[in-house]
Amino acid sequence: MQPFESPPQVETLVELLRHRASRQPEQVAYTFLVDGEDEKIQWSYADLDRWADAIATHLQPLTEPGARILLLYPPGLDYIAAFFGCLYAGMIAVPAYPPRPNRSLERLETIAANSGATVVLTLESILENLNRRIAEAPILERLTWRTTDALPPLSLQKALDLTSDSLAFLQYTSGSTATPKGVKISHGNLLHNLKSLHRCFEVNEQSKGVFWLPLYHDMGLIGGVLQPLYSGRPAVLMPPLMFIQKPVRWLAAISREQATISGGPNFAYDLCIKKITEEQRATLDLSHWTLAFNGAESINPDTLDAFAKTFAPCGFRKEAFYPCYGMAEATLFISGGLKSQPPVLKTIQAEALTESKVVEAQPQDARRQTLVSCGRSLFDQTLKIVDPETQQCCRASEIGEIWVSGPSIAQGYWQQPEQTAETFAAYLNDSGPFLRTGDLGFLANGDVFFAGRLKDVIVLNGKNYYPQDIEATLDRCMPELQISGAAVFTVPVEGTEQLTALIEVDRRMVSRCRQPEESEVLFTTFRKAVWSTHELLISAFYLLKPGGLPRTSSGKIQRYLCRERVLAGGGDAIATSNSGP
């Protein structure tokens, strides 16, 4: 085994992989658990370097340097090789994911058209499944399609001069509040963010990661693939579906591999609490898991408590939780906590929160809201809380939009100059430019607290309400229902805004929810819980089967599509209730 060394000083990811392949050629870089359990494929740094070389050599004659290459792969090491093959060839990778059977090609067509991709790299199995559908999609049909399953090993003959300013890939946003946009991520952006992750995660010679996150998504690609490469530590990967189908596979892999770093969005921890049995927990050893990151969506303090309590007998410690905050427009990572310290919580008056104010709750306050800190801003970037209307800095007691400036901030949106100017070129008293995140939050003692998405805020009777807070109340009020997700928003009805909720229930509860007398009891319970907690009346409910809520590729609920569904008639609900405006 090679001795642990600090990450090299390089300008591009190409240099980074070349360095690892020359210094640690036989060290296992990635282990892919095909079935999430025993069937595995392993690649060393030298293996990945050879595959990237071969793909780049076949890619260069097809198009010019700087061309966008659409990557259409299932989870696996082939995708990682294709990603680096694009970089080795001096081209810009465009990660996507194969559309499922009988699902629309609209997102894929949008990405292909916006990026101006000329070539698609994929596998024989994917191309075979898509062939007939491609013929019906002119945008996709005119692209050059190539498979990379069995390319002969070739050495790259035409090395290109790349710099830290060269674009590495376009990260298409998940589309939780709008149509996906291609975020331009440079090699320099990536290396700065990877350096920050390495430092904040306190990576050392004992570090090892286990990741199930989608590789075409920023958290999966950067956190699960590129960060281990940067730090020179091994990573164990598994398909997201293997985790979703059987959540114990994730924790079993952490236990078996004695992994120290792993994590995911809040819902992943919820899923483990609800789905992993006592018998399964008895087989787990989570004592080596020292950094459990939680990000990409709102962090629920109840989830942290429940997970820590449930898995404490397995050796899990609450201090391992690492709440963090980030987004594609900042490459990935914006803020994070201090390793080995418990999450920082702040309980504030719920009434003040509706007025965009931060007032610490007192024991006598009946309505309180506890928020989880997302840690502190990276040391070499600037983070401000700004009034989105006046574009002036907020006071410490006010909630505003989070603005960020620093080396990790991306280069803008591909081929969208107006949206780039609006989002990436904000100024505060001649200082900037800042990224307008579109997220609301506040600072307390240097800690960043996330309050919600600006576009998702519900305004009723002149007060602001954050949908994730109401959704958390719905989730808590009936644990036996095993709610899989909820979306709360308003729709216009007879000149007023009507508060509406879509709730996805567990498959085992579907038959119960179909019974009118049972569903009415559920709706009454939901209304009482929301009224007592938020003093809000939800007028309309829609109960949905598993998979009924529209989600992004990373699992975020798309509230704007939920709203469109209700406006179009409600969709395929198993039970509804509407008490009127």
SS3 575: strand
For residue 581, pLDDT over 60 is answered with no
Tokens of 439: 């997220």
Sole residue written with tokens 């090699």: 187
Tokens of 547: 């998979």
> How far is the C-alpha of 84 from the C-alpha of 94, rounded, in Å?
12
* Predicted TM-score (pTM) of this structure: 0.85
For residue 569, pLDDT over 70 is answered with yes
Q: For the structural domain made of 461-578, what CATH number should be given?
A: 3.30.300.30
287 dihedral zone (left: phi>0; alpha: psi -120 to 50; beta):
alpha
- Cα–Cα distances (Å) from 566 to 175, 220, 516, 569, in that order, read 19, 32, 20, 5
Contact 219, 262 (CB under 8 A): no
Q: Measuring CA to CA, which residue among 334, 419, 408 is closest to residue 377? A: 334
Question: pLDDT class for 510, splitting at 50, 70, 90?
Answer: confident
Question: pLDDT class for 534, splitting at 50, 70, 90?
Answer: confident
> How far is the C-alpha of 445 from the C-alpha of 6, rounded, in Å?
31
Output helix, strand, coil percentages for the chain, rounded to the nearest 5. Answer: 35, 25, 35
DSSP letter string, 124-185: HHHHHHHHHHHTT-HHHHTSEEEE-TTPPP---S------TTSEEEEEE---SSSS--EEEE
For residue 348, pLDDT over 80 is answered with yes
The pairing of beta strand 447-453 with beta strand 119-122? unpaired
Across the chain, mean pLDDT equals: 90
SS3 492: strand
Q: Which CATH class is domain 13-322?
A: alpha beta
Residues of the chain with CATH 2.30.38.10: 344-404+433-455
Q: Measuring CA to CA, which residue among 293, 283, 138, 322 is closest to residue 220? A: 293
Q: Which has more pLDDT, 132 or 277?
A: 277
Residues of the chain with CATH 3.40.50.12780: 13-322
Query: 351: which residues sit within 8 A by CB, 6+ positions away?
Result: 367
Residues of the chain with CATH 3.30.300.30: 461-578
φ/ψ of residue 501, rounded to 5: -130, 130
SS3 245: helix
Structure confidence at residue 537 (pLDDT)? 86
For residue 580, pLDDT over 70 is answered with no
Kindly state which CATH superfamily the domain 344-404+433-455 is placed in.
Answer: Luciferase; Domain 3 (2.30.38.10)
SS3 505: coil
Q: Which amino acid is at 201?
A: F
Q: What is the mean pLDDT of residues 33-55?
A: 96
As a whole number of Å, the end-to-end CA separation of the chain is 68
For residue 201, pLDDT over 50 is answered with yes
> How far is the C-alpha of 481 from the C-alpha of 466, rounded, in Å?
23
Q: What is the mean pLDDT of residues 438-466?
A: 85
For residue 250, pLDDT over 70 is answered with yes
Which has the minimum average pLDDT: 125-134, 174-183, 435-444, 465-474?
174-183
Which has the minimum average pLDDT: 247-261, 379-393, 417-431, 479-493?
479-493
396 dihedral zone (left: phi>0; alpha: psi -120 to 50; beta):
alpha
Q: What angle do CA 510, 512, 514 make, to 5 degrees?
A: 70
